[in-house]
């Protein structure tokens, strides 16, 4: 019989009834045991929220997304959850990032004032799904036409403030999202409605052409 030290009661009970764990189950059990130890220290005030956040960010950097899922599920059911000013942001590809709730509130404020948001692979789905109409400018630093369309996006963000959220995605820094939407050339403008891609335009379009395209998606927003 394998040692039961460090395992959660649920895993210990399963181990005792089955007799042994597979390699995959052992890895999951080890991840959960580490999370349980970490959260126990937090619940007993041996670890403050700032240190807990830094530890979880370390998990994020190490791509330990299973451990982050354990931590997310356990924390959200705990008495400590209302005290925290950060949250877990999950992408459709299974990645999880830590983000301060103040940052998310700031994004809402920026949207209302017509600020263009910086999107990343880890925040893309959360931001897009949180807005009824979202326009995303896919660009890169080296792209000349992208620099031409940037001021157009800035102007439109102010014109549509409070109605449409605008964001920018650097395709070089965020290749996963670029691949998912098959971005072959830039600039590419993606338009989402209720989290679903409803339109896609290529090239540095002038404001006079882009504005009516966006307007038609705000009719029932």
DSSP sequence for 55-96: HHHHHHHTT-HHHHHHHHHHHHTSTTGGG-SEEEEE-TTS-E
Six token digits for residue 204: 């540095």
Q: Which structure tokens are listed for 149?
A: 């369309």
Q: Active site residue: 29, 38, 128, 146, which one?
A: 146
Rounded Cα gap, residues 160 and 163, in angstroms = 5
Least confident of 27-36, 92-101, 186-195: 92-101
Comparing 33-47, 86-100, 159-173, which segment has the lowest mean pLDDT? 86-100
Max avg pLDDT among 20-34, 106-120, 163-177, 207-221: 163-177
Q: Cis link prior to 166 (omega < 30° from 0)?
A: no
pLDDT at 50: 85
Angle between helices 144-159 and 207-215 (to 10 degrees): 50
* pLDDT per position as a tens digit, 21-69: 678 888 888 999 999 999 999 998 888 888 899 899 999 999 999 999 9
The average pLDDT across 196-213 equals 94
* Annotation says 138 is catalytic: no
Task: Please give the pLDDT value at position 221.
Answer: 44
Strands laid side by side in the 196-202 sheet: 117-119, 165-170, 133-139, 188-193, 196-202
Token pair for residue 177?
């999202």
Q: What are phi and psi of 120, to 5 degrees?
A: -135, 170
Distance of CA 75 to the CA centre of its chain: 18
Minimum mean pLDDT range among 69-73, 80-84, 117-121, 140-144: 80-84
* pLDDT value, residue 1: 42
Q: Label residue 34 exposed, middle or buried (CB < 10 Å: 0-12, 13-18, 19+).
A: middle
Give the domains, in start order, of the chain with CATH numbers: 9-84 (no CATH), 102-215 (3.40.30.10)
Catalytic residue among 67, 89, 96, 143: 143
Mean pLDDT of 208-216: 93
Q: Per-residue confidence at 135, pLDDT binned at 50, 70, 90?
A: very high
200 DSSP 8-state letter: E
In the chain, alpha helices (H): 9-18, 23-43, 49-61, 65-76, 101-112, 124-129, 144-159, 175-180, 207-215
The pLDDT assigned to 149 comes to 93
Interatomic CA distance for residues 158 and 109, integer angstroms: 13
Q: Report the percentage of the chain scoring pLDDT > 70.
A: 83
């Amino acid at each position: 019989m394998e040692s039961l030290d460090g395992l959660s009661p649920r895993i210990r009970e399963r181990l005792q009834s089955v007799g042994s764990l597979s390699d995959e189950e052992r890895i999951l059990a080890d991840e959960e045991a580490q999370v349980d130890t970490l959260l126990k220290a937090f619940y007993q005030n041996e670890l403050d929220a700032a240190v807990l956040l830094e530890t979880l960010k370390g998990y994020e950097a190490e791509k330990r997304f299973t451990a982050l899922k354990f931590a997310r599920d356990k924390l959200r059911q705990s008495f400590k959850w209302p005290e925290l000013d950060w949250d877990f942001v999950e992408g459709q590809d299974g990645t999880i990032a830590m983000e301060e709730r103040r940052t998310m509130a700031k994004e809402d404020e920026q949207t209302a004032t017509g600020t263009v948001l910086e999107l990343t692979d880890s925040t893309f789905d959360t931001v897009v799904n949180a807005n009824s109409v979202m326009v995303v400018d896919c660009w890169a630093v080296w792209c000349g036409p992208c620099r031409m369309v940037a001021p157009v996006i800035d102007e439109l963000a102010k014109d549509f403030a409070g109605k449409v959220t605008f964001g920018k995605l650097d395709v070089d820094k965020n290749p996963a999202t670029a691949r998912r939407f098959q971005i072959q050339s830039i600039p590419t403008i993606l338009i989402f409605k209720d989290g679903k891609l409803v339109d896609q335009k290529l090239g540095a379009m002038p404001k006079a052409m882009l504005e009516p395209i966006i307007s038609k998606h705000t009719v029932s927003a």
